[in-house]
């Protein structure tokens, strides 16, 4: 493995930090300098960071039926990007609230968004989906579930959620991934992680 740069956050010279926008999410503006790979320090640079909070995502997997549970919902970011079909296929996910753990979040969100429960959880990784612009870090899991009777429309009315829930077999999921149908970074990583670890996971969970 290539050695990482010998820098830490303590080497960054934070000159100022402001918050020009704050609602449910916020935007922070940083003026800073950081070490350069060839030595010395950078000039003062200004960087805006979208502060979304930490989140967690879980791909529910039934090792007996060899199926996963996926959700589909409207995403304004896809609309803003010009996507002709801004309803995206995803794994359930949610924001980690104060006092919660990532495991708390995925168990809650799988129930609220997909109408099923997960028992065993297998940690996959922590992912920065877009570290050039947001501080968000996603804790990702695959969770053991039963897909029997899973489906329909779910979500919380108070959050204006309109979520279609469906199941898909592993082979069909891989075909979808091969055709470029994995529409989100966290989803794609979870699908590919399952492909690499499916046999071991089925042996462990069955």
Instruction: Give the number of other CB atoms < 10 A from CB of residue 13.
Output: 12
- Residue 175: active-site member: no
Catalytic residue among 90, 159, 161, 175: 159
**Those residues with Cβ within 8 angstroms of residue 121's Cβ, 6 or more apart along the chain or in another chain:** 58, 103, 106, 107, 141, 142, 143, 144
**What are the catalytic residues?**
159
């Amino acid at each position: 493995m290539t050695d990482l740069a010998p820098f830490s956050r303590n080497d960054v010279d934070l000159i100022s930090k402001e918050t020009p926008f704050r609602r449910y999410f916020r935007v922070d503006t940083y003026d800073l300098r950081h070490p350069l790979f060839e030595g010395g320090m950078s000039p003062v640079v200004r960087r805006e960071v979208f502060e979304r909070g930490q989140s967690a995502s879980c791909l529910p997997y039934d090792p007996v039926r060899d199926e996963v549970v996926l959700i589909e919902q409207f995403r304004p970011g896809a609309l803003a990007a010009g996507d002709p079909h801004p309803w995206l296929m995803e794994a359930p996910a949610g924001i980690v609230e104060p006092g919660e753990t990532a495991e708390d979040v995925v168990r809650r969100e799988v129930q609220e968004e997909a109408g099923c429960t997960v028992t065993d959880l297998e940690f996959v990784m922590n992912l920065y989906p877009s570290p050039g612009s947001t501080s968000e870090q996603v804790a990702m899991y695959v969770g053991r579930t039963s897909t029997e009777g899973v489906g329909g429309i779910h979500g919380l009315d108070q959050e204006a959620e309109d979520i279609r829930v469906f199941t898909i077999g592993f082979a069909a999921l891989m075909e979808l991934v091969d055709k470029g149908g994995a529409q989100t970074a966290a989803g794609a990583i979870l699908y590919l992680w399952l492909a690499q670890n499916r046999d071991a996971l089925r042996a462990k969970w069955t």
